[in-house]
Structure formats: structure tokens, C-alpha cells
Amino acid sequence: MVTTVEEIKKYNEQGPFKANWESLSQFEVPKWFKQAKFGIFTHWGLYTVPEYRNEWYSRNMYIQGYPEYEHHRKTYGPQDKFGYKDFIPMFTAKKFDPQEWVDIFKRAGAKYYFPVAEHHDGFQMYRSEISHYNAYEMGPKRDIIGELKTATQNAGLHFCTSNHRAEHWWFMSHGREFKSDIHDPMKKGDFYWPAMPEPYNQALFSDPYPTTEYLDDWLMRVVEIIDRYQPEMLYFDWWIQHDAFKPYIQQLAAYYYNKGRELGFPTGICFKYDGMAFDTGITDVERGGFATAKPFYWQTDTAIANNSWCYTNTLEYKSVNEILITLADVVSKNGNLLLNVGPKADGSIADHDRQMLEEIGDWLAVNGEGIYGSSPWKLSNEGPTNIKEGMFQDLSALHYGVKDIRYTVNHGSVYAYVLNPEGQKQATLTAFHEFDEKNEPPFHGVIKSVEQLGQGETTWQIKPEGMVVNIKPDAANHPVGIKINLK
């Protein structure tokens, strides 16, 4: 049964959370999320079938002059003969094994998992009674999200999911500009509906303004996911910050938080671009972060490749070290890292992606005690290199060195992560310099011992410039974890 808008409103009137920001500000970040620190995101759907450029293929293949437009015509034929919908029969997912996926993610050290339930293209990766254009009825004819939830819970991870439907208001609109399979008339529930003109540079207001019919449909789709799959966390991509969505995101958040109370587990919503009032969910910073630790809890989402969120044949991969540095940096500043991996169209995970995840898992198996369940220290970071605040900052190839340190606290100890040891046998932690009345150090206590995680106790000495610690970097110059045991 589909929960109607009226039923959603009635439910919220009876719950502790009401559909307004004042009531929703009672929200508290789930404890498990603060302890988890590291999760996996996956973008997988019809847009993966062509494996070309990125996950916006469904939009870009209809924009004349775009690479996707030309590639599509050369590879599949003109858009009126072979449109985006014609990828559905090709999306068979013959190698999709949900338990294999989640086992790989667990091996990587992830504690929670966020598969995308519906992307901008409008194809639902789950069983739905709202639209027939879903993976249960078409394509692989499997309840992808349902199977992934079962596998995630079997692996002991937290199951979450993501919805990117908001942008579908305009996402398929360019197909109306020439002869293609996107044309009038369209009605609610159709795959391409409503394909309205794209509002360039109008993320808060637009003309045409989203209709009640469209917004009701958006709300019911997300509530259907909540009712059927009971995720522990939701994530929304941009455009929910649009003026039209304000009353709808409030109804959705109230319903979700009330449902979590009813079912007996805490829930939360990750949002970007001030799509919600600041204290009513979890701020997400896409491909970016903050310069220092924040008093609020936050998350960054980024991908193992710089140029796409889905699998393509032209991925520009990050190094494992770049990902590990991001993890240590984010955690030191009171955040989580949600790392995206794009499975291939057939449902398999590429060997290179798997190898990267295994290497991350190996590092966390040794260094995770200062990551999982940790909190920021009084000083989050030191050194000359640091990210600029904001989104899309991780694309700037920063070079971190042996002087760049990130701090956390856990188990009564201070943890220092040397982000790039550069093959050096010593690292200097300036936060622990000799006491000077004119320059009091951040730490002025008694140290019991110092150890390098995975290597055991090491030698150290407090000097005017800082604590000089002997370290043993590995051949890959992965970040080195140092544990400072206090007396």
C-alpha cells in the first residue's frame, strides 16, 4: 500500500516530531553514526550501462553538442530510435551478488552502506507501487535495494539509502529540444515525466515552479522507501534546497524521525546546500571538508574517482593514500567519510576498485583504533597543508608531508596520524613541544608511553620544536598512526 500525502500529514500530527523546523531541531545525530566514521556509497543503475563519462549520461545524451550526445548517436543510434529507456532491457545485472558486494565493503572497514535507491534519471532500484519503471519489474527484475539491505544486515553493517529524485523535475528536459523519444504527452508515473525546462543557475527558485503533483509524488516515493526498507539513515542530493521543497522536506523529515521512534532505532538525514535547517539533520559536504574541527557533526561524500560517481571506462582514480588522508583529516575534524564505489553495469565490482578497498581495509585493521569511535582532540590538525573549506575541494591535488598531522582522542589516549611520512624515520608533533611560559604547548601533561600502531612501542623525546617520534613508514607511505598513552 502506498502511503498518501494526507496519511503522512496525519501520522506526523500524532508524533513527537512535527513538520516544522522548530520541532525537527530536537533531532540528535545517532550514536552509531558518530562511532562508525567510515561508510560506503554506491551509484549503480541504467546510467552505468553505457559506461561513458559519468552518471549524468541520461541528461547529457539529449544535449546537442555534448560528448554523450555524439557518443550515443554513433554507438546506439539517434535518440528517437534508441532513447535512454532502451537501456532498461540491457540492464540485466547478471553478475550482481549483493552479499559479495557487502562483504567487500566490510573488508574495506566500512561500518555503514548507502546504495542509491533512485538517481536523477528516475529509475527506481527497488520494488515500487508508484511507478512501473523499477528494477523489480524491469531490467534485472530484482529488488536491488531489498537484497542489499538483507546482505548489509547479514554482514552486521548499518543499512542506509539515498534518493536523488528531486532533480528529475528537469533532468530529462533537453530531449524536448529536438527529435527524440522524450515528448508530450506525459503523465505522472511515466519514466521521463515531467521533463520540465532546466532552471539554469536557479537552485532556490525556478520557472516553471515545481507543481503540487510532482512534489506529492516525490514525497510518497521517499516514504515508500522508508516504509518498505526502514533505512537507518537517508541521504538527499541537491535541489531539495529549492523553495518548493521546503514544506515537503519538513513533512518527510518528521515522518522519518517519527517512524524511527516507532520502530525503536534512531534515524538521520544527510543533506547538502542548506536543504534543511542546520540543526535538523547532518550537514554533508560533497567532495570537500573543513579547515578545522567543527562543534557540529558532519559528513563528506567523495568517490574513488575524481571524474565520475558511477563506473566508466575512463575513470581517473584517486590513490589509496589520498583516500586514507581524507579519512584521517575528516575524522579529526568531527566528521565521517562516505566513500563512493561504482559497480560495473553487469553487477560486478572492478578488480582495481576491489584492490583499493582491500588496501583501505588493511590500513584500518592496524590504525582503526584512533578512527572508529574517536572524538576530536583540542587541536585537530597541524602542518602547512590543509584543505580549503567547502565543496569540491578534494579535486585540488594537495601534497601532504611528514609535518602534516591530524589528531583524535579515544580510549583515554591521543592519536596522531602523520598523513604522509615521505619515507622519513622520524616525525615531529609540534603540539607536544617543550613547555615555555611564553609559548605554552597544547599538551602539558605526563606521557606514559608512545607507540606506532601495528609496530608496538617506539622511542620519543620532547624537544623545543615538539615531540620527536621514531617511526617506520611502509613502502607505500601510508599515513602512520601514533598512539600517545597518558599517565
Secondary structure of residue 332 in the 3-state scheme:
helix
416-454 pLDDT, tens digit per residue, is 999 999 999 999 999 999 988 778 889 989 999 999 999
**Rounded CA gap, 125 and 135, in Å?**
5
Round the average pLDDT of the chain to a whole number and report it.
96
The band of 404, judged by pLDDT with boundaries at 50, 70 and 90, is very high
Element (H, E) at 58: helix 57-60
**Rounded CA gap, 14 and 261, in Å?**
12
pLDDT at residue 395 in the model: 66
The residues near 452 (Cβ < 8 Å, ≥ 6 apart) are 458, 469, 471, 472, 480, 481, 482, 483
**Rounded CA gap, 393 and 397, in Å?**
9
* For residue 210, pLDDT beyond 70: yes
* For residue 202, pLDDT beyond 90: no
Domains by residue range for the chain, with CATH: 5-370 (3.20.20.80), 376-383+402-486 (2.60.40.1180)
* For residue 396, pLDDT beyond 90: no
DSSP string, 412-442: TEEEEEES--TT-SEEEEGGGPPP-TTS--S
**Rounded CA gap, 161 and 416, in Å?**
33
pLDDT (mean) for 447-465: 97
Residue whose grid cell is 555524439: 70
Poorest-pLDDT segment among 38-47, 106-115, 384-393, 432-441? 432-441
13-18: Cβ within 8 A, 24+ apart: 15/254, 15/257, 15/258, 15/261, 15/262, 16/258, 16/261, 17/253, 17/254, 17/257, 17/258, 17/261, 18/254
268: which strand partners? 233
The band of 394, judged by pLDDT with boundaries at 50, 70 and 90, is confident
Helix axes of 98-107 and 144-154: crossing angle, nearest 10 degrees: 40
The residues near 26 (Cβ < 8 Å, ≥ 6 apart) are 16, 17
Give the rounded percent of residues in the chain with a pLDDT score beyond 70: 100
**Rounded CA gap, 30 and 266, in Å?**
6
Contact 126, 117 (CB under 8 A): yes
Cis peptide before 199 (omega within 30 of 0): no
* For residue 280, pLDDT beyond 80: yes
* For residue 55, pLDDT beyond 70: yes
Give the angle subtended at the CA of 325 by the CAs of 324 and 331, to the nearest 5°: 90
pLDDT at residue 215 in the model: 98
354-377 pLDDT, tens digit per residue, is 999 999 999 999 999 999 999 999
pLDDT (mean) for 401-414: 98
Q: How far is CA 336 from the centre of its chain?
A: 9
* pTM value surpassing 0.95: yes
**Rounded CA gap, 151 and 142, in Å?**
14
**Rounded CA gap, 480 and 418, in Å?**
5
DSSP string, 347-384: S---HHHHHHHHHHHHHHHHHGGGTTT-EEEEEEEESS
